Structure 1
Amino acid sequence: MNTPAPQPAKWDDLTVRLISSGAMVFVGAIGVILGGVWFQMLAVFVTAVMVWELWMMIRPDEPTKGMLLTALVASVMSGQLAGGSLWGMVLFLVVPVIGASQLKTEIKTFFIFALGIQLAGWGLVHFRMDYGFFWLLWLMSVVIVTDIFGYFAGKALGGPKFWPKISPKKTWSGTVAGWIGAALVGFLFTLFTNAGLWIILISMVLSFAGQMGDIAESALKRRMGVKDSSTLIPGHGGLFDRFDALLGASLFLIVVADIFDVPGVVW
């Protein structure tokens, strides 16, 4: 008589995830607090690694080209953050164009994601420089709390899937819980900053933008037939897996901060 294989417990990965998350939060917090060149170096490293993970998901058989693109990303990002002009942002097209030219398939996929990753990394650094520590802390807090609320609510409550064809683990309960957590972060920031109550709504929209970043990366992984972007972080996969939501939030915030004048919010 065959004995059914034991099913993994619902919370089996929690300990590993917490340890890895703690280490990432510690390193990230140091970079955010110090700001300046320290945060820039952290952003350059993370951005370059994520582009490498993107390449390896598409062409795992050509790791050398992936490493060359990684070095090129680091070079372009470093130059831009050291004093690049607005016109100089055209340099962000260098890696997407060169990488895409080396591919026979998924050309648009690499181009779009590589460009988005670089712009998001650039946006985070400039948001820290232009608006200071507390507003970058707000941004990161929204993303982190969204993930935490979504993880525990999704595990505990389950229910209908948010987008089963793209992200089979993401539930509506976890998604809505993430919005609630983001609203709480926004409310907390109204208590000790000069932001009005609009920051609560913006926090919820920012939370959704982060979730869409997560969804976009999930769609990419399903398209490439991989579970994780890499195996760099125990319990989390790769840096792209961990920071996909932050990328989505950063791209959204670039639009909000640079194009729209939101009433009641003083950046």
Structure 2
Amino acid sequence: MSGAWMAAIGIGAIIIGGVWFQMLAVFVTAVMVWECWIMIRGASPTSGMLLAAAVASILSAQVFGGALNYEFLGLFLVVPIIGAIILERERLTFFVFALALQIAGYGLVHFRIDFGFTWLLWLVSIVVVTDIAGYFAGKSLGGPKFWPAISPKKTWSGTIGGWIGAAIVGLIFTQFTNAGWTIILLSVVISFAGQMGDIAESALKRRQGVKDSSTLIPGHGGLFDRFDALLGAALFMLLVATVFNVPGVAF
């Protein structure tokens, strides 16, 4: 039931776009920074709530009114720096994750505003299909573990199954969009970036000795547990969209 509600809210916000999707991105990003804080600090989540409120304020200012304020991106350093100063341990860990979470949230809003619904649907579809195809391939085929020290359950068969699923998503999108064949290869790379986002969060939880990022979602853990792959994909795609001109990928 929790998964169905999350899917309905997420899909609805993506379709509607505008301030509704922006508010959802701001909320989810702020909560994930708070979850990162409590994983590292353990008790005393009050400071984390204040940092999450600061994240919400800063990110809201960046995307206010549907316009992206690129000149103020340096404000994303505020919360990571303050958190790193307050913490007595894992300062660099919090700094890196808090900064990455804000940039990823900003990237998702950027994609929806600048590239449109279909483009964001492609990105989300890659992450979802990678997860589903990887799960069933790993369960069916088994085999060597992908990175047992960090994520004992993930196998190479599941990882490659996710890539194949992502390639199929890219192929489908070539049929009803203006995207060229390059999108198939890019879909696979985005799939791998999403898997690395999952691995990064698994490494953080293992390092902190916790099973879930929080207990906010019944049966699912925290928001970070559910959006880690999408964040990895968004971070990588934001880098690609900012630094490179990828031919043939335009909807």
Q: What TM-score results when the alignment is normalised by the length of structure 1? A: 0.91
Give the corresponding residue for 2:57: 75
Which of 42, 57, 64 matches 2:24?
42
2:91 aligned with 1:107, yes or no?
A: yes
Which of 14, 24, 48 matches 1:32?
14
Give the direction of change, closer, same or farther, for the CA distance of 1:151–1:234 in structure 2 (3 Å limit).
farther
Secondary structure of 1:169's aligned partner:
strand
Secondary structure of 1:170's aligned partner:
strand
2:147 aligned with 1:163, yes or no?
A: yes
Secondary structure of 1:51's aligned partner:
helix
Shift of 1:101: 0.8
For the Cα contact (< 8 Å) 2:62–2:70, is it kept in 1?
no
Shift of 1:232: 1.6
Q: What is the CA–CA distance in structure 1 between the aligned matches of 2:142 and 2:219, rounded to whole Å? A: 20
How big is each residue's C-alpha offset from its partner over 1:64-91, in whole Å with a ceiling of 9 and x where there is no partner?
1011111111111111111453220111
Give the corresponding residue for 1:66: 48
Q: Displaced runs of 4+ in structure 1, greater than 4 A?
A: none
Q: What is the CA–CA distance in structure 1 between the aligned matches of 2:158 and 2:221, rounded to whole Å? A: 20
For the Cα contact (< 8 Å) 2:201–2:228, is it kept in 1?
yes
Q: What is the CA–CA distance in structure 2 between the aligned matches of 1:21 and 1:172, rounded to whole Å? A: 26
Give the corresponding residue for 2:214: 230
Which of 183, 186, 190 matches 2:167?
183
Give the corresponding residue for 2:129: 145
Of structures 1 and 2, the larger Rg is shown by 1
Give the direction of change, closer, same or farther, for the CA distance of 1:45–1:258 in structure 2 (3 Å limit).
same
Q: What is the CA–CA distance in structure 2 between the aligned matches of 1:118 and 1:264, rounded to whole Å? A: 29
Q: What is the CA–CA distance in structure 2 between the aligned matches of 1:265 and 1:92, rounded to whole Å? A: 29
Q: What is the CA–CA distance in structure 1 between the aligned matches of 2:171 and 2:239, rounded to whole Å? A: 22
Extract unaligned runs of 5+ from structure 2: none
Which of 184, 189, 195 matches 2:179?
195
For the Cα contact (< 8 Å) 2:198–2:229, is it kept in 1?
yes
Give the direction of change, closer, same or farther, for the CA distance of 1:84–1:205 in structure 2 (3 Å limit).
closer
Q: What is the CA–CA distance in structure 2 between the aligned matches of 1:34 and 1:84, rounded to whole Å? A: 18
2:239 aligned with 1:261, yes or no?
A: no
Aligned length: 249
Secondary structure of 1:228's aligned partner:
coil
How big is each residue's C-alpha offset from its partner over 1:218-261, in whole Å with a ceiling of 9 and x where there is no partner?
00001000011011223321110110000000000111112111
Letter of the aligned partner of 1:88 in structure 2? F
Give the corresponding residue for 1:127: 111
Extract unaligned runs of 5+ from structure 1: 1-18
Give the direction of change, closer, same or farther, for the CA distance of 1:20–1:151 in structure 2 (3 Å limit).
farther
- Report percent identity of matched pairs: 70
Give the direction of change, closer, same or farther, for the CA distance of 1:214–1:91 in structure 2 (3 Å limit).
same
Q: What is the CA–CA distance in structure 2 between the aligned matches of 1:236 and 1:61, rounded to whole Å? A: 21
Letter of the aligned partner of 2:50 in structure 1? L
For the Cα contact (< 8 Å) 2:193–2:229, is it kept in 1?
yes
How big is each residue's C-alpha offset from its partner over 1:46-70, in whole Å with a ceiling of 9 and x where there is no partner?
0000000000001122211011111
Give the direction of change, closer, same or farther, for the CA distance of 1:103–1:206 in structure 2 (3 Å limit).
same
Of the structure 1 ranges 207-216 and 229-238, higher mean CA displacement relative to structure 2 is found in 229-238
Shift of 1:126: 0.7
